[in-house]
Amino acid sequence: MSSRAVSKTIAVIIAVIVIIAIAAAAAIVVMPPTPSPTSPPPTPPTTTPTTPTSPTTPISPTPTEKIPSEIRIGVAIQLSGAQVVEGSASFMGIKCAVQWINDRGGVNFKGVKVPLKLIYYDCESKRDYAVKLVEKLITEDKVDIVIHPYASTFVMATAPVTEKYKMFSINFGGSSDALYQQGFKYMVSTHGFAILHYWSTPFTMIKEVDPTARKVAIVFKDDEWGRSLGESARTKAKSFGFEIVYDRSYPPDITDATPMLREIAALNPDILCVGGHYKDGYLIATQLRDLRINIKWVIIQVAVAKPEFGDGLGKWAVGFIGETTWEPECKWEIIAAREGKEYYGPTSDELVEYYYKLGGKGRPSAYTGYGAIAVLVAAKCIEVAQSLNSDKLIEAAKTLDFYCVKSRFKVDPENPAKQIGSINPVVQWQRGEGNKLVYAVIYPFEFATSKPIPMPKWEEKEGWPELKP
């Protein structure tokens, strides 16, 4: 063998060894460590009297069931990875609600206050890992109730596990309509769904403040979420007696909406409904500005409800309307009192107080409200069922109809995975005093921080100074 051939062989052997070493090192680094359950430090029960009352009649208690020393709530949630923002904010809401309940002694269970214990894992925004963790929560940690991770795709993956073990579970962050069409028997949803819940509140508001508004243009992203929003807008617009003058989808990877917007402008609608995600919603908002298309009411789901929308557009954001699921300004206790319904759990002000007490930074986002309602519903179901048996808990959930920090909770008695009570507040970017850009809650009127205004004309905004956030 020539020396060149020998050196080639050696080179190949070295290359193979290096590859194996890199693969082994990568496996060690990438392989998730065996998770150890984490639980927040237990809070000693206090003697503070429970403020909320529970008028809902408890289901007959199970006589053989012992009173536990703690009720274990299991969560596998996105505390790192792609969905860390949503997961962490939701988890803050979960922690706040647990703390609020424990500060009041715990959950009423057969005449005794039983504290909640939160057992949680970081699913690293990986669906497969979330599935494993939910199974671990049920089989190893023996939790009594599971709270699913944030987002529909995750719930779609973890719900079959809770169903397999007939474990009572709560979906707080999945809003795809497909979720309640799966026949899940042990899952309750607390979040509003696209088809069921969107557009009702902005349409109600517009009907009240501008009865002359009649013509509606609907555009929606051509994906599952966008199509649901489009279908919902179509149905609701008809039910509100609006005339639909334009109803088209746009591709998910849209980079130019100007041809569509020009067509819409020619039809002169009073209301423009846009259903999609942040990127496309923002694109449409900027191109409405660039083409100087003036429409009185422009509702963009879900871009408007994001702070980046105002940060990016500045004064041009004024007038855009969106729906949100929770804001710190929401005071559903007022609506509950008006309707004569029970209000359970912390008020928004209390939740915000707990948020900062537990280390929350910045303004709490809607996700904090998402997380809080999950725990409140779990606690309420236990109080009504007086049992930790999943069958009894799900029966209890079907009977509940109450308000809490994130609007109303009521599920379809035939399908508890289908939330039917949730109400979305309406928000609008406005020009505040001192040339400030203000993010205002404009509906329901009972706790609105400002009155709704029609979109100021673009030509009018041109003369404004830049607004400070």
Partner 1 sequence: MFELIVQVLVYGVIIGAVYGLATMGLNLIWGVMRVVNFTHAEFLTLGAYTAYWAWVLIGLNPIASIPLSALLGFVIGIFIFYIIIYRLLFSPDIHSTLVATFALGVALAELMKVLWTADYRGVPWALGVIKFSWFSIPITYVFTFISCILIIIIVYFILYRTYFGKSIRAVIWDSGAAAICGVNVKATLALGFALGSALAFIGGSLIVVYLPTGINPYMGHLYLLRCFVIAVVGGLGNPWGALAGGLVLGLLEQASPIVLGYIPGVEPLSLTPFLSFLILIIVLIIMPGGILGRRR
- Point out which residues bind partner 1 (CB under 8 A): 82, 222, 248-251, 253-260, 262-263, 266, 278-279, 282-283, 286, 289-292, 308, 312-314, 316, 462
Can you say how many angstroms the Cα of residue 50 is from the centroid of all Cα atoms in its chain?
Answer: 27
Q: How far apart are CA 231 and CA 214, in angstroms?
A: 18
Minimum distance from CB of 293 to partner 1 (Å)?
Answer: 9
Rounded (5°) CA angle 121-164-194: 75
Q: Between 172 and 320, name the residue whose CB sits nearer to partner 1.
A: 320
Q: Between 250 and 403, name the residue whose CB sits nearer to partner 1.
A: 250
Sign of CA dihedral 351, 356, 358, 360: positive
Q: How far apart are CA 155 and CA 266, in angstroms?
A: 42
Minimum distance from CB of 416 to partner 1 (Å)?
Answer: 35
Q: Between 248 and 338, name the residue whose CB sits nearer to partner 1.
A: 248
Nearest to 104 by CA among 49, 54, 67: 49
Minimum distance from CB of 308 to partner 1 (Å)?
Answer: 8
Q: Between 104 and 221, name the residue whose CB sits nearer to partner 1.
A: 221
- Alpha carbon distances (Å) from 216 to 206, 245, 270: 12, 6, 6
Minimum distance from CB of 8 to partner 1 (Å)?
Answer: 18
Minimum distance from CB of 234 to partner 1 (Å)?
Answer: 14
How do 271-275 and 215-221 pair as beta strands? parallel
Minimum distance from CB of 132 to partner 1 (Å)?
Answer: 24
Q: Between 119 and 257, name the residue whose CB sits nearer to partner 1.
A: 257
Q: Between 208 and 462, name the residue whose CB sits nearer to partner 1.
A: 462
Nearest to 380 by CA among 362, 364, 404: 404
Q: Between 17 and 26, name the residue whose CB sits nearer to partner 1.
A: 26
Q: Listing from the earlier edge strand, what are the strands of the sheet with 436-443?
A: 243-250, 215-221, 271-275, 297-301, 321-323, 426-432, 436-443
Sign of CA dihedral 463, 466, 468, 469: positive
Minimum distance from CB of 99 to partner 1 (Å)?
Answer: 31
Minimum distance from CB of 123 to partner 1 (Å)?
Answer: 18
Judged by DSSP in three states, 177 sits in helix
Burial (Cβ within 10 Å: 0-12, 13-18, ≥19) of residue 341:
middle
Rounded (5°) CA angle 354-303-193: 70
Q: Between 70 and 223, name the residue whose CB sits nearer to partner 1.
A: 223
